[in-house]
Amino acid sequence: MSSSQPSVGLKARIDELIADFPEHQPRPAGAELALQGIRIVDFTHYIAGPFATTILADMGAEVVKIEAPQRGDDFRQYPPMEPAFEGGAPFVWCNRNKRSIALNLKSPEGLAAARALIAKADVVVENFSTGVMKRLGLDYESCLIDNPRLIFCSVSAYGRDGRFADRLGFDPIAQAESGFISMNGYPDREGVRALSPVMDISTAMMACNAILGALFARTRTGKGQSVEVALFDNAVLMTGYAPLQQLFSGKEPVRPGNTSPDSCPSGVFYAQDRPFLINSGNTQIFRRLVTQVVGLPHLASDPAYATNKDRLERREEVFAMLQEVFGREPWSHWQERLREAGIPCGVLRTVAEAIRSPEARERALVTRVPHPELGWVPNVSLPIRYSDTPLADPVLAPRIGEHTNRVLVDWLNLDEASIRSMAEAGAFGANATPDGSDTTAALQSSNC
């Protein structure tokens, strides 16, 4: 697929940002990948499914993303859009290190190609509405006929069976129905959803874990299996220990704002110049705080503040005493003292501040990755560090069908004539014609 020209505005912005982020440091030459040799056929879209397969791709699995011709994954439409990406920045974030193949699953030829790819795969991941894969003849039972070692992972909203299997689900709905929203915000107003798609991301992590477990089990049994992860199930898990607190106490969690309902003093305080957060999770931390940081040693020996329960009952007065001291100096003053005393703390940052922070730079969380039209693009890395099998070097998310010919050659050993015949039959969508130069390259190389 021919590359689109980048927007002038983005190219200028990229040039301005070059000093903010380090270059990506390539993995050591010759180092193995954790999932080297594992092949995954990815039917997923939006976030929960694609981010799961991105994690696996970063670990070295070869992931082929099946997309609808011309339209592709609907998540490509999330802004800001960029012609050079054939989609938006959010799509790039959760689809790196994959190949894209455009197949018309409504055509016999496109469906046959999908079945042939599945027969060569170790893992299939899908998050269609319940029943879609079965109607296509691509459900787990059908796929087992040609591939009994297959691991088949379904990511759904409310499970693949039962009374709610037909319901669609997105991250905000899962936040609402799991009780997660009811726990967040301030007590004098409605609960607040998290803007970050925390349920999608955590569901992706759970699906990745489930797939890795199934792969490990297959090494012992030689058999594949069906794996299922539901967004709602995961969202309930993401409410943490609140369900057990509710069951044992009979009380609903009270929205605490930026304070903790379980420990004191834990919450936001204000230095002269900006807010910061302290998490005083036990009495030892509290004693270090008042003796080594704020100069109120008498509080450490006062029976009124001896236990966490005592401090929770006197939260307002504890916060008032601490705030009166913290407001005298800037954050730079308190940051050094809090760190020396071993007090868990952090400044309240914006996203822009966080990705440019010394901590992010130290861990190389955001790096510059080469791009053919833009020169480079930023990449946010996974928080995984392997000593012997470092993660794959990031490759930008593919354009729709960018690797169609290459995958058909690499996986199915098809020749140019066969691929052209499939195109003429509508396997790649209406009026789609495979790029002859791409076919030639596919015949020469199996690399992305």
* Cα–Cα nearest to 64, from 151, 23, 123: 123
User: What single-letter DSSP state applies at residue 32?
Assistant: -
* Largest Cα span, the chain: 85
**Residues 6+ away with beta carbon under 8 Å from 347:** 274, 275, 276, 277, 331, 335
The DSSP string of 229-282 is: EEHHHHHHHTTTTHHHHHHHH--PPPP-TTS-SSSTTEEEEE-SS-EEEEE--S
Cα 17 versus chain centre, distance: 24
Asked whether the beta carbons of 110 and 428 are under 8 A apart, the reply is: yes
Cα 33 versus chain centre, distance: 20
Which position has the token pair 């106490």?
A: 249
Give the whole-angstrom CA distance, residue 168 versus residue 164.
9
Q: φ and ψ at 327, to 5 degrees?
A: -70, -5
Asked whether the beta carbons of 155 and 207 are under 8 A apart, the reply is: yes
CA atoms within a 13 Å half-sphere pointing along the CA-CB vector of 228: 15
Q: To the nearest 10°, the Cα dihedral for 175, 181, 184, 189?
A: 150
Q: φ and ψ at 427, to 5 degrees?
A: -65, -25
The DSSP string of 55-109 is: HHHHTT-EEEEEE-TTT--GGGGSSSEEGGGTEEHHHHHT-TTEEEEE--TTSHH
User: What single-letter DSSP state applies at residue 286?
Assistant: H
* Cα–Cα nearest to 169, from 85, 230, 82: 230
Tokens of 79: 């802004």
The verdict on whether 200 is a catalytic residue reads yes
Cα–Cα distances in Å, from 58 out to 47, 51, 62, 105?
16, 10, 9, 27
- Annotated catalytic residue within 73, 139, 171, 200: 200
What value, to the nearest 5°, has the Cα angle with vertex 124 and ends 119 and 125?
Answer: 160
**Dihedral over Cα of 209, 41, 218, 36: its sign:** negative
CB atoms within 10 A of CB 89: 16
Active site residues: 200
